Structure 1
Amino acid sequence: MDTQLVAFTGVAAAMVAMPGADFTVVVRNALASRRAGAACALGIAAGLLVHTALAVAGVAAVLTAVPALFRGLQLLGGAYVLYLGYGALRAAARPRQTATDADSPDGTVAVSPARALRQGFLTNALNPKASITFLSVLPQFVPASSPAMPRTLLLAAIIVGIAAVWFQAVALLVDRLGRWLRRPRTARAIEGVSGTALAALGLTLLAAPLAG
């Protein structure tokens, strides 16, 4: 048994399952519809694929070597997450009884799968810390006796696979609980909590480069 591979799988699962912007965005979209939640989860997996590809190619090292570029990407990512939080807080403040034609019958805001896919991808891809994390973690699980490229590609595939399964499971669970979660008061509360969480995450991402 490849004990290093087993250990890496555990580490990768913990990294992916850690609550954050990805988790919150999937929950928000899954509340709109199962298709939107699944599309958002797929977008996050695609974003992770970008980060792992950058780590494999060594491009992530450039972000470390050029602080201005890294800070610029941090600001861009933080601004986008903050924008998502603002949108969620606006949705929470809107009266559910006056749903428009763009809304579903139960008052939840309709989200197209394409938009959900884009949100998931951008939320993950615009986080440069993910590339740095992968660049620092992946080499720890590449044995000196193994060719680096095939092994690193395998580790990257494991991360993306775990993310695809985990976030699809989150979307499915939210959809299964949808009848209760989509009640107007419950939905507004969830939008408020998720909006506050996203706004706080966005501000944190913005504060780090500005403080530096």
Structure 2
Amino acid sequence: MITAALLFAGVAALINITPGLDTLLVFRASATHGKAAGVAAALGILTGCLGWGIATAAGLSALLAASRLAYDALRIAGAVYLIWLGTSALWRSWRDRASPQAQVDVEPPITQGRWAAYRAGVATNLLNPKAGVFYMSLIPQFIPPGAPLWSTTLLFTGIDLVELALWYWFVSGAAAALGERLRSPRFRRWLERVSGVAFLGFAANLLTGRH
């Protein structure tokens, strides 16, 4: 079991530090609203991951692989949410540029306080069917023969959550430090544009992705 856990930890770590939607969300929240918002977004993501891990242990996430309808429904809902995030970010960058006197300290929806950042983290994770497929397809490969499915799945989920927490702590700290040095209307508009395009790109990936 120890060998299996170490192997899983190594593979999961490589996947977790690969830049993706969740890392972008934590970075953006931290850079625009401080480390507290980034940590809140990270906690939301971890909550979503815990939900996927429990669903995997219970066998519920297998529905995403077995049912095209369930997968597509969640995929489309996630894409719509990401399109809303992306267009909102692009609109804010255009509005702030068109109106230099705009209230640049008004935070975007995903960073209006810790609770909003937390909700955004939960939503982006739970509405991404690929997160569920990740847990369902990766964890079972490392479960030793004869090992209890429920407890072992939760163990591996816990390992993944610890790794993600450490990674997001680093990302939030680095992004918050960067945000403090570059906290200006120009940097804010630049970050909104990059984030908006990235969110739309992730949405397109979900819409065109294959089950």
Normalising to structure 1: TM-score of the pair?
A: 0.89
- In the other structure, the counterpart of 1:127 is 128
Taking the aligned partners of 1:123 and 1:62, their CA distance within structure 2 comes to 19
Q: How far did residue 95 of structure 1 move?
A: 2.1
User: CA shift at 1:116, angstroms?
Assistant: 0.6
User: Which aligned pairs between 1:1-212 and structure 2 lie closer than 5 A?
Assistant: 2-30=2-30, 31-95=32-96, 97-100=100-103, 103-104=104-105, 109=108, 111-208=112-209
Shift of 1:89: 1.1
Q: Is the 8 A contact 1:180 1:186 kept in 2?
A: no
Check the 8 A contact 1:79/1:206 in 2, yes or no.
no
Distance 1:115 1:98 in 2: 25
Q: For residues 167-198 of structure 1, give each alpha carbon's deviation from its aligned partner in whole angstroms, at most 9, with x where no partner exists.
A: 12211111112223322222211211111011
| SS of equivalent residue, structure 1 residue 146 | coil
Cα displacement (A) at 1:3: 2.5
Q: CA deviation at 1:34?
A: 2.1
Is the Cα–Cα contact under 8 Å of residues 56 and 153 in structure 2 kept in the other structure?
Answer: no
**8 A contact 1:85–1:198 mirrored in 2:** yes
Q: Which runs of 4+ in 1 moved over 4 A?
A: 107-110
CA distance in 2, matches of 1:181, 1:124: 28
After superposing the two structures, state which structure 1 stretch, 178-187 or 122-131, moved more. 178-187
Identity of aligned residues (%): 35
Q: Is the CA contact (8 Å cut-off) linking 1:16 and 1:162 kept in structure 2? A: yes
Q: CA deviation at 1:80?
A: 0.7
1:94 Cα offset (Å): 2.5
* Change in 2 beyond 3 A, CA 1:184/1:136: same
CA distance in structure 2 between the partners assigned to 1:86 and 1:29 by the alignment: 17
- Between stretches 126-135 and 71-80, larger displacement belongs to 126-135
Distance 1:187 1:43 in 2: 23
Distance 1:85 1:208 in 2: 18
**Aligned mates of 1:90, 1:126 — CA distance in 2:** 23
Following the alignment from structure 1 to structure 2, what is the Cα–Cα distance between the partners of residues 86 and 5? 41
- The alignment's C-alpha RMSD in Å is 2.0
Is this contact kept in 1: 2:58–2:150, CA < 8 A?
Answer: no
Question: How many residues get paired?
Answer: 206
In the alignment, the residues of structure 2 paired with residue 95 and residue 60 of structure 1 have an alpha-carbon distance, to the nearest angstrom, of: 42
After superposing the two structures, state which structure 1 stretch, 147-156 or 88-97, moved more: 88-97
Which whole-Å CA distance do the structure 1 matches of 2:165 and 2:101 have between them? Answer: 35
- Cα deviation code 1:54-104 (max 9, x no counterpart): 11111111122111111011000111111111111122222263233xx53
Change (3 A) 1:48 1:181: farther
